[in-house]
Chains A and B, each alone.
Chain A
Amino acid sequence: MLRILMLNNRKILILNEIDNIAVCLVDMDIGEVIRQDALNLTIQNRIPRGHKVATKAISKDEGIIKYGERMGHATSDIQIGEHVHTHNVLGDRLSTEQVK
């Protein structure tokens, strides 16, 4: 399946249809426009290969969904096309927030 994606020059990889992020397969520059299937997004930050980009608008405290599973939550509102990483996401477990 992945091979077909790449042959079609896909730049991002959506791992599960319910995900709100995708994995960048190449380094992304600001302003780059991604058109894949129903997606039409403009990259908001420089995003290195392997890092995540928001494919949906994500509100503060909303779950980040990858592989169809929750991997943490947003610590601020995240726009479509924005880099999703440690600056705007925190894990739900084993973080200082829970350690009282």
Chain B
Amino acid sequence: MSNQLKAFARADGRWGLRSHVLILPLHSALSATARKIADESDGAVAVSHDWSGEVDGDFDRIIKTFSGFAANPNNYATVFITIGTPGELLIIDLAKKLGLNKAEILNVAELGSMGKIAGAGLKLANSLLKEAKAQSRVSAPWSALTLGQECGGSDALSGITANPALGVASDRLVELGSASVLGETTEILGAEHLLAARAITPEIGAQIIETVARYERSINYEGIDMRGAQPSRGNIEGGLTTLEEKSLGAAKKAGSAQFSGVLEYADQVPKSGLYFMDTPGHDTEQLTGFAAAGINIVVFTTGRGTPTGSAIMPTIKVATNTTMATAIPDLIDLNAGTIADGVKTLSEVGGELFDLILEVANGKLTKAERGLHHEFSLSRMYNTVIK
């Protein structure tokens, strides 16, 4: 197998590992039309969501999420479907500033009806898809690949098989010059001291500690009992007892490389190095934030077989145990359970995962892509208040 990464060069210097045409509705009520356009087209993708333009405490976070998602380098083009509010224009403007390759806008008010939007959208999507398919991959540096690390439905083997295997692959990528991102603040609580000790400066270490402390203060302030949610019922059935235990296993995804920085939710990821991003433990919110941050490929380790994927980021599913990998073969791309079975070593599976990341980066479709797992979820910090 060739060891060369091949990607789509974007005009602003970024690299795409896919060449999607994304149909992005900027109002919840336009979601159905966006889906209809994507479904009837020759391969465009769309997401649905529940944002209706409300301006509240989460406005900036939502604008940042949509603009970053639209501008992800895996998108050859994004077709925005709008009703014409200032918030929508802000999203489109920001997406262009972030380097969105090609932006098209379909406005309901201008076109006059949903039927006309669907008709014009389908024609536009197919014409953009023709252009996107005419693009070809060229040899790319390792900094073209930005990996997101995710774990969902963790079990007791997560920290022993799939997560450390991802750590091996992540370490190799970081050494070669890629960027790799660990997220899920909830799931490093109890392990943050180990990660902070690996920061390249004491300031970055202190930031990792403070990010978790900030989260912990907010939970304690609300008087929330985390037991029952973290670890989840599924985690507990799988043998995980405490949040700290889950975190100690989850942190193994980040391997042993040094941390080059801490990012806020959906911040653009620098080209190279290992980073920690402050994201929620909710899989879909975290994946959406990763996509908005410009991450172009994800490895998702799972003990229970979480099906979640992304419309625009190829998401590689790695099973922590052979029982689940065998039960749900149409979800799992690689079985790391072989480590616990004594069939393969950690470094062997880590090497297989590295090879698979390269194959998928170069165009091999993941099970989540083939299964059209296009989940999307906005991350909110506040109650929605219409102002």
Query: Which residues of A pack against B, CB within 8 Å?
Result: 1-3, 5-7, 13, 15, 23, 25, 48-52, 64, 66-67, 69-72, 84-86, 89-96, 98-99
Contacts and interface: CB of A to CB of B under 8 A. Distances in A.
Contacts of A71: 190, 241-242, 244-245, 248
Contacts, number: 104
B156 A51 contact: yes
A6 B346 CA distance: 13
Given A2-B340, A50-B156, A96-B227, A69 B194 contact: yes
B339 interface: yes
A48 B244 contact: no
A95 B321 CA distance: 29
B230 interface: yes
Nearest to B246: A71
Nearest to B222: A99
Nearest to B237: A48
B342 interface: yes
B160 A23 contact: yes
A72 B240 CA distance: 11
Contacts of A51: 156, 239
Nearest to B348: A3
A73 to B, nearest CB: 9
A3 B342 contact: yes
B220 A99 contact: yes
A85 to B, nearest CB: 5
Contact of B241 (A1, A3, A7, A86): A86
Contact of B242 (A6, A25, A90): A90
Contact of B225 (A7, A85, A99): A99
A52 B342 CA distance: 19
B226 interface: yes
A91 B159 CA distance: 17
Given A23-B160, A50-B155, A50-B157, A91 B243 contact: yes
A52 B230 CA distance: 18
A86 B155 CA distance: 14
Interface of B: 155-157, 159-160, 189-191, 194, 216, 219-220, 223-227, 230, 236, 238-239, 241-245, 248-249, 321, 339-346
A6 B244 contact: no
A51 B303 CA distance: 13
Given A50-B157, A93-B190, A94-B216, A69 B341 contact: no
A2 B339 contact: yes
B341 A6 contact: yes
Contacts of B339: 2
Contacts of B155: 50
A94 B226 contact: yes
Contacts of B230: 94
Most buried by A among B155, B189, B194, B244: B244
Given A2-B345, A94-B189, A96-B227, A52 B241 contact: yes
A5 B157 CA distance: 15
Given A50-B239, A66-B248, A72-B245, 9 more contacts: A2-B339, A6-B342, A13-B160, A50-B321, A85-B241, A86-B236, A91-B241, A91-B244, A94-B226
Contacts of A49: 239
A7 B342 contact: yes
List the 4 shortest-distance A-B pairs measured between CB atoms, nearest first: A6-B342, A50-B156, A91-B242, A50-B239
B159 A85 contact: no
Nearest to A25: B340
B303 to A, nearest CB: 8
Given A66-B245, A69-B191, A50 B238 contact: yes
Contacts of A86: 236, 241
A93 B191 CA distance: 12
Given A93-B216, A95-B227, A3 B236 contact: no
A73 B245 CA distance: 11
A2 B239 contact: no
Nearest to B346: A2
A69 B248 contact: yes
Nearest to B225: A96
A70 B157 CA distance: 18
A50 B244 CA distance: 16
Contact of B189 (A66, A67, A85, A93): A93
Given A13-B160, A66-B248, A48 B340 contact: no
